[in-house]
Amino acid sequence: MAQGRSRSNNLVVPQARQALEQLKTEAARELGVTLPQDGYMGNYTSRETGSLGGYITKRLVQQAEQQLSGSGRTL
């Protein structure tokens, strides 16, 4: 692990938690993955969770690109 980096799942913007959970639910539905009621995904394969995480990342990048292109901002 890189020095100075924690391995916690703390959100930078805690108010975004509900939106991220909704995004995760939508992504799982689109990929045909059933999320457990208790939220524990330890029984899923790395392939399943990796696929879900990759899909969520792709959607977040698309949303960021749309916002940046709409506002005329550049990175």
Is residue 48 classed exposed, middle or buried when 0-12, 13-18 and 19+ CB atoms within 10 A define those classes?
middle
Name the more confident of 1 and 54.
54
pLDDT tens, 10-40? Answer: 888 888 889 999 999 999 999 998 999 998 9
Q: Torsion angle, CA of 59/60/62/67, rounded to 10 degrees?
A: 140
Domain ranges in the chain? 15-39+47-71
- Identify whether the C-beta of residue 21 lies closer than 8 Å to the C-beta of residue 53: no
48 neighbors 33 (Cβ within 8 angstroms):
yes
Regarding pTM above 0.75, the answer is: no
